[in-house]
């Protein structure tokens, strides 16, 4: 098949921990009620735009899987093939997993908080394997061995996500399939950084809203032919602003 190729990125709907304003990372929390509504609406938006996915790629985290299921049910595409990979997981938030974002900002100050949250190459402290928020003993990651992260910065996410983009997503795009990738705020920031050529400094400003499909048309080189388009731009702008403000939430 020849270009343009169609790629749809979808961050999971609001999770219970997004709702409670907690750092989540690899902790496997589910969608909130609002999140299930957002996920189903994402499917309606896809259907209304006549963007019917032929193949789905998700992370191994339940909130992304639930989101894809709900969206594909609305779009009547539950039957499409699925591949899941830890490489699409949220950024591992290390020792911040399970902590309240506003309390963390109050305790460490805004500068340190933003460094951990949005700098490109400063990872949070390592999470100990004995923590209740650790994934060291989670069977879904049993084959990862030394690849299992205990903290990650966005640079680490780019480095573990891009090989999957090349090996698994790119061939589906080149085969002419409409590809849906259902993932997370920071794994999608990593992918958008690659696609839009955003600098290490400027990526700090990018926030991805929950539950709104972001559509790219890609050329032969699998780079965008134009800017990505949210299917509901107004809701996307409001959602991104809400994500940006999470440290200030009471
Ligand atoms: O907590 C997290 O895992 C992420 C996404 O919800 O948060 P942040 O936007 O602060 O990187």
Q: pLDDT band at 250, cuts 50/70/90?
A: low
Q: What is the per-residue pLDDT for 249?
A: 67
Q: Whose CA is nearest to atom 5 of ligand 1?
A: 185
The active-site residue, picked from 12, 38, 57, 74, is 12
Q: What is the per-residue pLDDT for 36?
A: 98
To test the pocket of ligand 1, the residue of 23, 95, 153 to mutate (highest count of ligand atoms within 8 Å of its CB) is: 23
Q: pLDDT by residue (tens digit) across 221-232?
A: 999 999 999 999
Dihedral of CA 95/98/102/106: which sign? negative
Kindly tell me if the per-residue pLDDT of 241 is higher than 70.
yes
Give the Å distance between the CA of 185 and the centre of ligand 1.
Answer: 6
Which ligand 1 atom minimizes the distance to the CA of 96? 1
Q: Is the CB of 120 under 6 A from ligand 1?
A: no
Q: pLDDT band at 117, cuts 50/70/90?
A: very high
Q: If DSSP codes are grouped into helix, strand and coil, which group holds residue 84? A: strand
- Across the chain, mean pLDDT equals 97
The number of distinct structural domains making up the chain is: 1
Kindly tell me if the per-residue pLDDT of 149 is higher than 80.
yes
Range of the domain at 70: 5-248
Residue 219: CA count within 13 A, CB half-sphere? 8
The active-site residue, picked from 57, 90, 152, 184, is 90
Kindly tell me if the per-residue pLDDT of 54 is higher than 70.
yes
90 annotated active-site: yes
* Angstrom distances, CA of residue 224 to CA of 9, 219, 221: 13, 6, 9
Q: pLDDT by residue (tens digit) across 62-79?
A: 999 999 999 999 999 999
Q: If DSSP codes are grouped into helix, strand and coil, which group holds residue 137? A: coil
Query: Of all residues in the chain, what percent carry a pLDDT higher than 70?
Result: 99
Mean pLDDT of 91-109: 97
Give the ipTM. 0.96
Q: pLDDT band at 32, cuts 50/70/90?
A: very high
184 annotated active-site: no
Q: What is the per-residue pLDDT for 131?
A: 98
Give the Å distance between the CA of 174 and the centre of ligand 1.
Answer: 31
> Nearest CA to 93 among 158, 22, 190, 160?
22
Q: What is the CATH number of the domain that holds 37?
A: 3.40.50.1240
Q: How far apart are the C-alpha atoms of 171 and 150, rounded to whole Å? A: 30
Give the Å distance between the CA of 44 and the centre of ligand 1.
Answer: 25
Contact between 128 and 134 (Cβ < 8 Å): yes
Dihedral Cα 130, 132, 134, 135, nearest 10 deg: 110
Which ligand 1 atom minimizes the distance to the CA of 25? 3
Give the Å distance between the CA of 238 and the centre of ligand 1.
Answer: 16
């Amino acid at each position: 098949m020849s270009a343009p190729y169609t790629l749809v990125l979808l961050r999971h709907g609001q999770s219970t921990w997004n709702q409670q304003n907690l750092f989540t990372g690899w902790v496997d929390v589910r969608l909130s009620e609002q999140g299930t509504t957002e996920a189903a609406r994402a499917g309606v938006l896809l259907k209304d735009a006549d963007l019917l996915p032929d193949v789905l790629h998700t992370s191994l985290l339940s909130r992304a899987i639930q989101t894809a299921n709900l969206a594909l049910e609305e779009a009547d595409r539950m039957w499409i093939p699925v591949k899941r990979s830890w490489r699409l997981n949220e950024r591992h938030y290390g020792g911040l997993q399970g902590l309240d974002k506003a309390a963390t900002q109050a305790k460490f100050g805004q500068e340190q908080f933003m460094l951990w949250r949005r700098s490109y190459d400063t990872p949070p402290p390592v999470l100990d394997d004995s923590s209740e928020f650790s994934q060291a003993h989670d069977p879904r990651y049993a084959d990862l061995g030394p690849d299992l992260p205990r903290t990650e910065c966005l640079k680490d996410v780019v480095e573990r996500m891009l090989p999957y983009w090349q090996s698994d997503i790119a061939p589906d795009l080149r085969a002419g399939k409409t590809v849906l990738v259902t993932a997370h705020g920071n794994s999608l920031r990593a992918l958008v950084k690659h696609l839009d050529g955003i600098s290490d400094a400027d990526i700090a400003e990018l926030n991805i809203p929950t539950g709104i499909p972001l559509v790219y048309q890609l050329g032969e080189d699998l780079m965008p032919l134009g800017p990505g388009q949210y299917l509901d731009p107004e809701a996307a702008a409001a959602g991104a602003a809400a994500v940006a403000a999470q440290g200030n939430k009471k």
